[in-house]
Every structure is written in C-alpha cells, then in structure tokens.
Amino acid sequence: MVTSTPRPAIGSCLLNGPVIPPAKNPRFKVLVLAEPGGHHIAYTRAAKPWLDQLAADSNFSIQYIQNTDLINEKFLEDFRLFIQLDYPPYAWKPEAAKAFEAYINAGKGGWIGFHHATLLGEFDGFPMWQWFSDFMGSIRFKDYIADFAKGKVMVEDTAHPVMKGIKNGFWIEKEEWYTYNKSPRPNVHVIASVDENTYSPETAKKMGDHPVIWSNPRMPGKNVYIFMGHSPDLFGNSDYTTLFRNAVSWAARP
C-alpha cells in the first residue's frame, strides 16, 4: 500500500540478525533488505522462511537487514546478490545509495527488486532518487489499485531464464498494480506484463502498456524487477515461487 504519511520506524527486530549459513561452505552470500513493519509485513514474514529454505536447499547464506545503515562499498563486497524484498528507493543513507549505484554500475553483483522498488517520487519528505528512476526505466510512480485486483500476467520473453517452467498467462489473485507516468518499455527489457483487461474487479486505473517484470540490460550487474510482492499468499502460488527461485539462480550467477 502506498502512503505519504511517515512510515514505521526502520530498525525493529523482525529481520535483524547475523548471516545464517545453511551449510558449512555456502556457495555465495545474499543480502536481503526489508522493512520491519508497515502494510507489507505479512509478505515479508512469509518470504523469510521460504528464502531460508531455498538457501538451505541451494547452499547459500543470507543476511537480513531492515535499513541501509550498514551498506557501504566494503560491506557489499561480501554479497553476490542483493534482494530488495520490501524497501522503497528513498530514505537510504547517502553512503548506502552511492555504494548501491557502484555495485550495479560495476557489475559487482546481481539485484532482484520487488514491488516497493518502483515507489519512485517524493515521499515522506524525501526527494526522488534519479539514478534509481533511470535504473527502473526512467519512470515515476503515479497511482495504484488500493482495493486490489486479480490480474493475469502474460510472459513476453519465454526464453528468459527467470521464466523457465512458468506457463504463459499466470494469475495473481491479489495485487495493487502500480501505474507509472509512462511505460518503462523503451528503456528496459520487458519480460512480462499484466493484461489489464483481466482485472477483477474492473478498474479505471490502467496504463495501456503495463510491464510488471523487466530487466535493465544497460547495467553491468544482472538485475530483474518483479512488481508482484504484496500478499503473503504469493508464496502459495507455484508460478510466483518458480519465478522467485529462477530469479535468484539467474541474478546470483557470476
């Protein structure tokens, strides 16, 4: 849910903790950034055990953080993959923002962003992060379906590794479906889009061309943005969990 009111304090205990090695010699380390509260906390709570199990099964380790206080260039050197699970592109510490830009610009690791990563604009007294807007296709957040809607996601690039094993045309039962000031398509590689004609209930909040999964191939670091990331029920959707698993495998690959 989008709000212009102050967000919950970032720094409570839900996800804080040390690196959790699932095995004696993990193949690589993953950094997961998610807020400790707010409207999407149920999604984060469902994601954590799912990710922990994936890490155990795939032999990698995870460090969860709830704010950007620790992030600098030295800190990011330890991680092959940065997952922005539930954290907007504002309220980052300046050093953290600079370090993240360097991480992506130099291809030091991969990135997967969900949902809030395209909450681009002026929120809670913070200016828009222009670099991040350009990273996401030079877009700006415009509106969202506050009462949620079911929608059908259509795969456009069936050959992309993140879509392996996913049928073309899968349903998301409950989502907010952001709209932007324009489609990111001219500036990114679109992997999938939502068919706005399938929205249930019907809504006037539509873009016409509405990508929901995309990558920016101009960035050296592997990256994929996946809009869907609001409901904990997503972790009961086999297409979504396959997408998430594929994204981790692809983005973490050197």
Residues in the chain: 254
Three-state SS annotation for 218-253? CCCCCEEEECCCCCHHHHHCHHHHHHHHHHHHHHCC
pTM of the complete model beyond 0.85: yes
Find all residues with CB under 8 Å of 54, minimum gap 6, and list them: 245, 248
Show the 3-state SS of 98-121: HHHHHHHHCCCCEEEEEHHHHCCC
Report the CATH architecture of 29-251. 3-Layer(aba) Sandwich (3.40)
pLDDT given for residue 218 in this prediction: 97
Instruction: Return the pLDDT at 23.
Output: 57
Residue 230 to residues 47, 211, 227, Cα–Cα distance (Å): 11, 17, 9
Which positions of the chain have pLDDT values less than 50? 1-21
Whole-number pLDDT of residue 39: 79
> For the chain, which residues make up each domain, given as ranges?
29-251
Reported as a single tens digit per residue, the pLDDT across 197-209 is: 999 999 999 999 9
**Tokens coding 211:** 């990508």
Antiparallel, parallel or unpaired: β 110-114 and 189-200 = unpaired
